[in-house]
Amino acid sequence: MEAVDATERSYKGFEGPPPSLLTIIIDTNPHAWAYLSSTLPLSKAIANLLVFINAHLAINSANQVAVLASHTQHATWLYPTPHPPKAAARNATNGSNGKVDGDVDMADTPSMDDANKYRPFRNVETELLANLRALMSQTSEADLKASTTTLVAGALTTALAYIAKANIKSAPHVGDGNAADLAAAADAPTARSTLTSRIMVLSVSGDLASQYIPVMNAIFAAQRQRIPIDILKLAGDTIFLQQACDATGGIYLQPSAPEGLLQYLMMAFLPDETARKHLVLPSAGEVDFRAACFCHRRVVDVGYVCSVCLSIFCEPPADQTCPTCTNQLSVSSSITRVPALIPRKKKKRKRVAGEATPGGAATPGTPGGGATPIPS
């Protein structure tokens, strides 16, 4: 009766697909959306995007979503809404004097609960629309005149930081639970991932040559963390985002009809990393691997590269010094010198046998010119 039960029991763990974290970066450049207002206004694009987010959350109850806005001057969160510091929130709750009296302020705003709507759907819709309205209302004319591009590099960096934090929270505790053990477990190639993450960029802006260095740094960081970057290009042409998809294994899609945004989202970008292993993904075709020079921030086909820091220049520096690492460049004079044009030699025409010379006399040994004999 008191013997130890040595019966072997096999524990069958959870074998289903892991939950997926979808981080969406919306390009909210007012200049680009004004250009698309006739075919796809921003309000319609957001409505289609909310349907896509609801479909992602409905696939798995453990799925997560985060939405960032890549604006002209900065990148800001649309969902989840950043919480204020604890001290500021406590002061706002207890009154202006900051005294803790135990009372709770009663808000006059009606409740947003709707029994006919799934609560996660309602939370995403309410916070995203409210934060987007606040972002557009805070954008002044001076901000629009100062910059016509969008801050994609900052949005990518913020998304990668959020994904890294979410992976640490979802990972099981290893060792003593310190940062070194968690980082080692996350970098292990054989570790089972408890959360698959990906980034989707809804881009409408064009030139990003001025952000070449931070964008490439974000691409390499996503490649190391095995985070695919998907690009849905509605307008403009950006070669660096196409390189991001190629380096991270994401999907690059540039639809010819932007008004069919919802169909492109549901058919191409809804499957997560686990489902994509069993699907035939759309191909981006030929990838443009051109780079931007460090001196003028323009895309070049052929340039000069520093052998120390690998900086790219469209033309040799005037003082033969790399402006990035101050290394002395040894540019050959034959490269910088204007090439001289060498005149082309005239070829002598070969004389054919029996051909008359310019003087009119025939070549010796050949019959002279005369009438054609008439056969008898």
List the CATH number of the domain containing 280: 3.40.50.410
Q: With respect to residue 24, please indicate whether it lies within any of the assigned structural domains.
A: yes
Q: What is the pLDDT along the chain (376 residues), one digit of tens a residue?
A: 566 665 665 545 556 788 999 999 999 999 899 989 999 999 999 999 999 999 999 999 999 999 999 998 889 999 998 876 555 445 544 544 444 444 444 444 445 567 788 899 999 999 999 999 999 999 888 888 887 788 999 999 999 999 999 998 887 754 555 556 555 555 555 455 589 999 999 999 877 777 888 888 999 999 999 999 999 999 887 778 888 999 999 999 999 899 999 999 999 999 988 888 888 888 767 777 787 787 777 788 888 888 887 788 888 877 788 877 878 877 665 555 555 667 777 777 777 666 655 555 555 555 555 566 666 5
Determine the residue type at 291.
A
Domain count across the chain: 2
Containing structural domain, residue 298: 290-339
Note whether 197 and 244 are same-domain residues. Answer: yes
Q: With respect to residue 171, please indicate whether it lies within any of the assigned structural domains.
A: yes
Note whether 218 and 302 are same-domain residues. Answer: no
Pick the closest to residue 171 from 60, 22, 66, 179 (CA basis).
179
Return contacts of 125-132, CB within 8 angstroms, 24+ apart.
125/50, 127/78, 127/79, 127/80, 127/81, 128/46, 128/50, 128/67, 128/78, 128/79, 129/46, 130/81, 131/69, 131/76, 131/77, 131/78, 131/79, 131/81, 132/28, 132/46, 132/69, 132/78
Q: Taking the chain, what is the end-to-end CA distance rounded to the nearest angstrom? A: 140
Contact 196, 274 (CB under 8 A): yes
- Phi, psi torsion values for 64, nearest 5 degrees: -125, 160
Note whether 77 and 197 are same-domain residues. Answer: yes
The predicted structure's pLDDT at residue 107: 42
- Reading phi first (left if > 0) and then psi (alpha if -120 to 50, else beta), residue 95 is in left
Give strand pairing partners of 252.
231
Q: With respect to residue 96, please indicate whether it lies within any of the assigned structural domains.
A: no
Note whether 214 and 71 are same-domain residues. Answer: yes
Pairing of strands 20-27, 64-70: parallel
Note whether 211 and 329 are same-domain residues. Answer: no
Q: With respect to residue 359, please indicate whether it lies within any of the assigned structural domains.
A: no
Note whether 238 and 279 are same-domain residues. Answer: yes
Q: With respect to residue 151, please indicate whether it lies within any of the assigned structural domains.
A: yes
Note whether 119 and 170 are same-domain residues. Answer: yes
Q: With respect to residue 351, please indicate whether it lies within any of the assigned structural domains.
A: no
Give strand pairing partners of 299.
292
Q: With respect to residue 1, please indicate whether it lies within any of the assigned structural domains.
A: no
Choose one of 229, 263, 288: the last residue of a domain. 288
Note whether 227 and 327 are same-domain residues. Answer: no
Note whether 218 and 75 are same-domain residues. Answer: yes
Q: Enter the DSSP assignment of 329.
A: P
Contact 231, 201 (CB under 8 A): yes
Note whether 147 and 70 are same-domain residues. Answer: yes
Note whether 256 and 326 are same-domain residues. Answer: no
The predicted structure's pLDDT at residue 354: 62
Note whether 316 and 335 are same-domain residues. Answer: yes
Q: With respect to residue 9, please indicate whether it lies within any of the assigned structural domains.
A: no
